[in-house]
Amino acid sequence: MSDEQQIYPKETLNKFRQWHFWWLVVFSFLLIITFVYYLPTRFLQQSGLVENHKGDQLMREHMEQGMTEEEMNRHAEEERGSQMMDDYEEMADDYVAEGFEALYREEGDVKDGLVVNLNISPVPYNVGVSLSVDFFVNTKPGNVPVPTNQLQIEHTKLMHVVGLRSDMNEFFHIHPEFLADDPSIFNIKRTFQKPGFYKIWSSVKKDDVIHTFGHPEVSINGAGTREDKKVSFSRNVITENYQVSMATDDTVIKEREVELSFDIHTLTGREVEVEPYLDADMHLTIIKDDWSQFLHTHPEGTGHSHSQAPRLPNPSALIRTSIAFAHGDAEDESAGATDEHQTTASDDEVISFHVTFPEIGLYKTFAQFRPQGIDLPSDEAITAEFWIQVEEKAPFPISQWWFLLAISAILIAGLSWVVNKYLKVKPEDVQIQK
């Protein structure tokens, strides 16, 4: 009998072998789980996501949410009021300093200076009834009327008005005209076809500054659904007889400039050229789903300049709100120059905007344009709508799949080292077999 056997009695060795055996079983099992099940599953999920993105382009709506947000909006509105006032005071100074030319405020927050007050009659407001919608341009305090001749034309109009229902549908962009007998009041007749809560924004330009005002929401009575919110992140939409695609970053991050590029085709895939709509290739309105953010912008028209207003340093932006900044460029890009939506056409015209979203949340963009030669009144356009989710920060730089792979590799290396260190077969063990 050798010395070794005395040091390692047979029972201890058997126990050790048993333990060794089960340890190897468990370890192999973990490896099998990782490589045979977990990683392939992750991989399939990843490629599944990619497939879904492609599915988008086939106009599949892959995300739908039914949200009733009336109540939430009410509360948010109240809480917002006081805070916005403070924010505004700070922002206003910044804007002057930075030479921005537009401001955004809620009508009710204005206690001093230029404001537009909304008045709709007759009450109650019912669907299918022609309502008289008045916008009174005045200065506070004292409600001193501001006649039209003190205002400036922007994009061919003295006043621009945008409206939207609480579900972010029923978008409208209209242009009231001032009354002959009271040039401080702009009026338009409007018949609402669907009931619900509506928010209306108006903007006027005075002393080279564009002022946009959010007006208190309006409840329209009538039979039918008051809200029908459907969120889809499809990047291709069909509107009227056109398909419009919007290309942008996969992940839109707050406070980081992002490019939104729009491409218009017929249903048969032919490139569509646009004609000027209110002196721009496209008007883009971006509104946050809680109505707290409003942005209206245009790319600079390609050569056609009809605006009587003096050109601003950055004429591309009609409205820079106190919360969202944007400027747009119309870019003619040849096919292949843009990554997402190449076509076989040799002259793929893409209309691009640069937008910085100030905070996270859900936004809806309304892109308005006039296809060349379309038979529509001159201040009407086709509207394509897209949802954008704005995120806090960029996702993990390397994809999760690669991250998991790296972790697995490190674990395997570590475990191998452990196995190697503690489970080395010693010459003594071999001798025992004799």
Q: Using CB under 5 A, list all residues that contact Cu ion.
A: 160
Nearer to Cu ion, 379 or 428 (CB): 379
Dist CA 17 CA 243 (whole Å): 70
Shortest separation between residue 201's beta carbon and Cu ion, angstroms:
11
Backbone angles phi, psi at 370, to 5 degrees: -120, 110
Q: Do residues 186 and 159 make contact, with C-beta atoms less than 8 angstroms apart?
A: yes
Buried b (16+ CB within 10 A) or exposed e, 317-348: bbbbbbbbbbbbebbeeeeeebeebebeeeeb
Which residue in the shown chain puts its C-beta closest to Cu ion? 160
Q: Which of 159, 294, 163 is nearest to 217 (CA)?
A: 163
Q: In one letter, which amino acid is 195?
A: P
Shortest separation between residue 115's beta carbon and Cu ion, angstroms:
19
Shortest separation between residue 336's beta carbon and Cu ion, angstroms:
34
* Burial class of residue 44, CB neighbours in 10 A (0-12, 13-18, 19+): exposed
Shortest separation between residue 175's beta carbon and Cu ion, angstroms:
6
Q: In one letter, which amino acid is 333?
A: E
Shortest separation between residue 331's beta carbon and Cu ion, angstroms:
22
Nearer to Cu ion, 160 or 364 (CB): 160
Nearer to Cu ion, 288 or 296 (CB): 296
Largest CA distance in the chain: 122
116 Cβ neighbours under 8 A, 6+ residues apart: 107, 135, 136, 137, 138, 159, 202, 204, 211, 213, 215
Nearer to Cu ion, 84 or 133 (CB): 133
Shortest separation between residue 173's beta carbon and Cu ion, angstroms:
5
Shortest separation between residue 118's beta carbon and Cu ion, angstroms:
16
Nearer to Cu ion, 357 or 366 (CB): 366
Nearer to Cu ion, 126 or 187 (CB): 187
Name the DSSP class of 152.
B
Shortest separation between residue 318's beta carbon and Cu ion, angstroms:
8
Nearer to Cu ion, 194 or 283 (CB): 283
- In the three-class reduction of DSSP (H, G, I as helix; E, B as strand; rest coil), residue 77 is classed as helix
Nearer to Cu ion, 160 or 211 (CB): 160
Backbone angles phi, psi at 224, to 5 degrees: 115, 180
In 304-405, where do the E strands start and end? 325-332, 349-356, 361-371, 382-391
Shortest separation between residue 159's beta carbon and Cu ion, angstroms:
8
- Torsion, Cα of 393, 87, 71, 162 (10° steps): -90
Dist CA 359 CA 356 (whole Å): 9
Provide DSSP, 7-75. HS-HHHHHHHHHHHHHHHHHHHHHHHIIIIIIHHHHHHHHHHHHHHHHHHHTT----------HHHHHH
Shortest separation between residue 214's beta carbon and Cu ion, angstroms:
16
Nearer to Cu ion, 95 or 172 (CB): 172
Nearer to Cu ion, 161 or 350 (CB): 161
